[in-house]
């Protein structure tokens, strides 16, 4: 059932086939026109199926954070700290993902991270969130390009680093200039490759741990020596171990960045009310299983004090998977792993460019960015938003003057903080959305997707993310750890976010939207029509049997009901017998 309400006292007028809209919906303040909201903003195309959406999100998440960046988390937190950190962060991400899924299913548009705060909280928050997320996506691209250049150094090819930086910058950007359908298929293929690689690595890791590679059985040896937790900065006792465990969160948050890509693709999804809920559920559980399995295997096989981890040497050998397999004496597999890491960096960078360009496009459509970024080609490509987003990838050349791993960590920390602020805003928007439904008398059971454990799950996620944002860089304040560059990487994003909020708040004199005034109507009409079309498609006769039933149904309705039920039972019986 679809919700047909807006502001209290709104007048309704009936449209075709029971579709309604309010008189206020056409002029709702701070919202883009209804036709833009529902049809992909009038220019992008709904060409992504559920298989594309799931794989784009998975492909954008399983990247260097898993294959390369996990080494630093193991180095700082120890094997148990690594696993626990990713498990806890997984539940935090789950709280955000399901909340986002409920809003996206109801209002699937491009630039949703801008639209939802504008619609449910305050337009000033939408402005800050939109530019923050664009920054988050674009700043992650140089990180992936640098990671790819680091991986190329593994083979000691006599080519200058600048060549690799140019090559990966051009290829990451170039892929995004093709149509969304072609892009979705290519990301689906690459994501499938990465998923296969993760599964193979987990299986190989189990074999190595049990001594099946011709080595001694490792078991839980590394959990005992050097120990399950690390002592941060030499701080003794439980305090030092807890602080080391806490440092894992910022790395884990970076690794999970990309799960929210489901929301970005919603504006270009075919039948989003059907595809998005499935994608939200499947993406999270797949990613959680991959990360928990990977962290467990890495913790079993690699000692946290290994000198080749990212906290040590900082070259391509820092991948904990490569360290483990080389230690087992397997010669060929490390090269294959580095190929997968290379493809991962490429695909993740491309996914970030896709997400950043769509968010900038949404900002322009909402009047929060220059209009030129809202223009599309005839094929539905937001060309100028994509060009602007691609230009930020040139920051990867900063690594030419610094150690590559150091610059990689800078961009990683910057991206993690902006991503955390985006997740924080999603949960804030959802709580306003939830209260709006409640105060206007809506039944959430009527929604196409209902997030579980609400609002408690959102409060849990909001509290945890707030703590991580405030304490993400606490270790630089410890004696002897001060670094201005690390401080800026950890906390520079926060005052910028606040400045964006205050600027729009003062310049536009925006006000917080009251729960009784939230508009739940604008942008639902086309989706209702889409649902109606799906229902009609379900009854289009194709086979001779269906045509016969259709003819009978037009003359003997009750007879049609009996025959259709009998046919369904017979079909179910044969399906059961044939397995």
The SS3 of residue 10 is coil
Contact of 137 with 514, CB cutoff 8 Å: no
The SS3 of residue 271 is coil
Lowest mean pLDDT among 260-264, 305-309, 393-397, 544-548: 544-548
Half-sphere exposure of 107 (CA within 13 A, CB side): 27
pLDDT per residue as tens digits for the range 224-266? 888 888 877 777 778 788 888 888 887 788 778 777 776 666 6
In the chain, % of residues over pLDDT 70: 70
Instruction: Give pLDDT, residue 557.
Output: 45
pLDDT per residue as tens digits for the range 143-175? 778 878 877 877 878 888 888 888 888 888 888
Instruction: Give pLDDT, residue 456.
Output: 94
- Calpha distance 10→345 (Å, rounded): 50
DSSP string, 210-247: TTTTSS---TTHHHHTT-SS--GGG--HHHHHHHHHHH
Between residues 390 and 283, which one has the greater pLDDT? 390
Of the ranges 276-285, 340-349, 390-399, 461-470, the best mean pLDDT one? 461-470
Between residues 507 and 279, which one has the greater pLDDT? 507
Instruction: Give pLDDT, residue 307.
Output: 80
- Calpha distance 362→39 (Å, rounded): 13
Distances (CA, A) of 367 to 29, 247, 361, 507: 12, 39, 10, 13
- Please, what is the end-to-end C-alpha distance for the chain in angstroms? 34
Residue 552 reports pLDDT greater than 80: no
Residue 5 reports pLDDT greater than 50: no
Domain map (residue ranges) of the chain: 34-465, 542-577
- Calpha distance 85→74 (Å, rounded): 10
- Calpha distance 251→64 (Å, rounded): 11
- Calpha distance 252→532 (Å, rounded): 42
CATH architecture for segment(s) 34-465: Up-down Bundle (1.20)
Contact of 94 with 342, CB cutoff 8 Å: no
Q: How crowded is residue 578: how many other Cβ atoms within 10 Å of its Cβ? A: 6
- Calpha distance 512→505 (Å, rounded): 10
Instruction: Give pLDDT, residue 128.
Output: 93
In 3D, which of 38, 36, 50, 65 has the Cα closest to residue 352? 65
Between residues 367 and 68, which one has the greater pLDDT? 367
Burial of 126 by CB count in 10 Å (0-12 exposed, 13-18 middle, 19+ buried)? buried
pLDDT per residue as tens digits for the range 18-51? 322 333 333 333 444 433 333 344 455 554 555 5
- Calpha distance 76→71 (Å, rounded): 9
In the chain, % of residues over pLDDT 90: 11
Maximum separation of any 2 CA atoms in the chain, in Å: 86
């Amino acid at each position: 059932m679809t919700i047909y309400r807006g502001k209290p006292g709104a007048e309704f007028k009936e449209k075709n086939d029971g579709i309604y809209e309010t008189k206020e919906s056409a002029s709702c303040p701070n919202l883009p026109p209804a036709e833009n909201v529902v049809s992909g903003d009038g220019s992008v195309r709904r060409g992504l199926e559920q298989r594309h959406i799931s794989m784009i999100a998975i492909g954008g998440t399983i990247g260097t954070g898993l294959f390369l960046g996990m080494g630093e988390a193991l180095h700082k937190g120890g094997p148990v700290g690594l696993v626990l950190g990713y498990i806890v962060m997984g539940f935090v991400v789950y709280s955000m993902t399901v909340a986002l899924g409920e809003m996206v299913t109801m209002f699937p548009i491009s630039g949703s991270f801008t639209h939802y705060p504008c619609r449910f909280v305050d337009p000033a928050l939408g402005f800050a969130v939109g530019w923050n997320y664009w920054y988050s996506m674009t700043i992650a691209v140089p990180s992936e390009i640098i990671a790819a250049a680091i991986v190329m150094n593994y083979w000691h090819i006599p080519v200058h680093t600048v060549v690799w930086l140019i090559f990966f910058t051009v290829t990451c950007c170039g892929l995004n200039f093709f149509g969304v359908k072609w892009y979705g298929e290519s990301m689906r293929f690459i994501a499938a490759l990465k998923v296969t690689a993760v599964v193979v690595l987990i299986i190989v890791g189990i074999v190595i741990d049990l001594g099946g590679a011709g080595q001694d059985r490792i078991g839980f040896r590394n959990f005992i020596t050097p120990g399950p937790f690390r002592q941060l900065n030499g701080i003794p006792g439980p305090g030092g171990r807890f602080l080391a465990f806490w440092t894992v969160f910022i790395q884990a948050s970076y690794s999970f960045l990309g799960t929210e890509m489901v929301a970005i693709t919603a504006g270009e999804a075919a039948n989003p009310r059907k595809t998005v809920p499935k994608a939200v559920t499947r993406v999270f559980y797949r990613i959680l299983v991959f990360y928990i399995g990977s962290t467990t295997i890495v913790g079993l096989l690699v000692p946290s004090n290994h000198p080749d981890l990212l906290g040590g040497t900082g070259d391509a050998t820092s991948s904990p998977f490569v360290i483990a397999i080389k230690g087992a004496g397997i010669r060929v597999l490390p090269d294959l792993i580095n190929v997968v890491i290379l493809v991962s960096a490429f695909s993740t960078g491309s996914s970030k460019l896709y997400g950043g360009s769509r968010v900038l496009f949404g900002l322009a459509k909402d009047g929060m960015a220059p209009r030129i970024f809202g223009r599309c080609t005839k094929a539905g490509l937001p060309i100028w938003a994509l060009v602007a987003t691609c230009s930020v990838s040139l920051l990867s050349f900063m690594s030419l003057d610094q150690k590559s791993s150091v610059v990689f960590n800078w961009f990683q920390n910057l991206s993690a903080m902006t991503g955390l602020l985006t997740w924080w805003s999603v949960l804030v928007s959802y709580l306003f959305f939830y209260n709006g439904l409640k105060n206007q008398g809506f039944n959430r059971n009527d929604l196409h997707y209902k997030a579980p454990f609400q609002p408690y799950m959102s409060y849990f996620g909001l509290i945890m993310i707030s703590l991580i944002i405030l304490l993400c860089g606490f270790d630089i304040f410890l004696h002897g750890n001060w670094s201005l560059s690390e401080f800026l990487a950890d906390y520079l994003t926060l005052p910028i976010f606040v400045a964006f909020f205050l600027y729009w708040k003062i310049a536009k004199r925006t006000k917080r939207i009251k729960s009784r005034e939230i508009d739940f109507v604008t942008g639902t009409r086309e989706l209702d029509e889409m649902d109606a079309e799906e229902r009609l498609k379900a009854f289009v006769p194709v086979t001779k049997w269906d045509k016969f039933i259709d003819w009978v149904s037009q003359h003997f309705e009750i007879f049609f009901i009996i025959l259709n039920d009998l046919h369904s039972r017979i079909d179910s019986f044969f399906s059961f017998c044939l397995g």
